[in-house]
Amino acid sequence: MNKKLHERYDYIFEPELLKAIEMVAVARHISKGETVIDIGQPITKMPLLLTGAIKVLREDAQGDELLVYFLEKGDSCAMTFSCCLGNKKSEIRAVAETDSELLMIPVEKMQEWMGRFHTWRNFVLDSYHIRMMELLETVDTLAFMKMDERLLKYLQDKAKVNQDDTVHTTHRDIATDMHTSRVVVSRLLKKLEGEGKLIVQRNRLKILEL
């Protein structure tokens, strides 16, 4: 834990904060597809992502999901910060996109470190800003992009967080993340393939336009 903590956060956090994290953080390994935080779950710990990638989802009244954004190594989730500071239950579902390693920090340290460490305060505020920009990008995507453009962007983002131009997924999983039907996804994938933007293979897609 010590080595990866310093690899990811030495340039962000002061030495005293790194020591404080080492004293209280619990290391956790999350397998691909495993839920890290679920909707309605009480927030007792806040995650820092050391390796891997996590997708953050919202759910509507019917139980259908919509992908909000991805978290990559070095990130944390602003929605989790908000729930921690307000002693609320989680309003999002976080699922491991790849095998990932996290540091789980007790929520009671949140406010203490906000006043004690300026680098922690800056990290939290920067995280809020970055996630807000990603939320606005998600809104713009939903409001202004055609469905095929949304699908291509989703696949490009997925390829980037996985650091692999071949995305291993199914049409049904894509449909779930994008809050649409499998039939629509299949039709649009054929269209994008015909335009030379990707290659459709069994349970995987090679993205040609990144």
Rounded to whole angstroms, the Cα distance separating 163 from 194 reads 24
- Check residue 81 and give its pLDDT: 62
Q: Domain locations in the chain?
A: 2-143, 146-207
Counting as low any pLDDT under 70, the low residues of the chain are 1, 77-87
Residue 136 has a pLDDT of: 83
Q: What is the Cβ-side half-sphere exposure of residue 194, based on CA atoms within 13 angstroms?
A: 7
Helical spans, DSSP H, in 117-169:
118-144, 147-162
Q: What is the pLDDT of residues 197-207, one digit of tens each?
A: 999 988 899 99
Q: How far is residue 65 CA from its own chain's centroid?
A: 14
In this prediction the pTM is 0.74
pLDDT at position 111, please? 79
**Vertex 143: Cα angle to 138 and 144 (nearest 5):** 100
Instruction: Tell me the Ramachandran region of residue 60: left when phi exceeds 0, alpha when psi lies from -120 to 50, beta otherwise.
Output: beta
Which class would CATH give 146-207?
mainly alpha
CATH superfamily of 2-143: Jelly Rolls (2.60.120.10)
The owner of tokens 């909000």 is: 68
Q: Say how far apart CA 173 and CA 25 lie, in whole Å.
A: 33
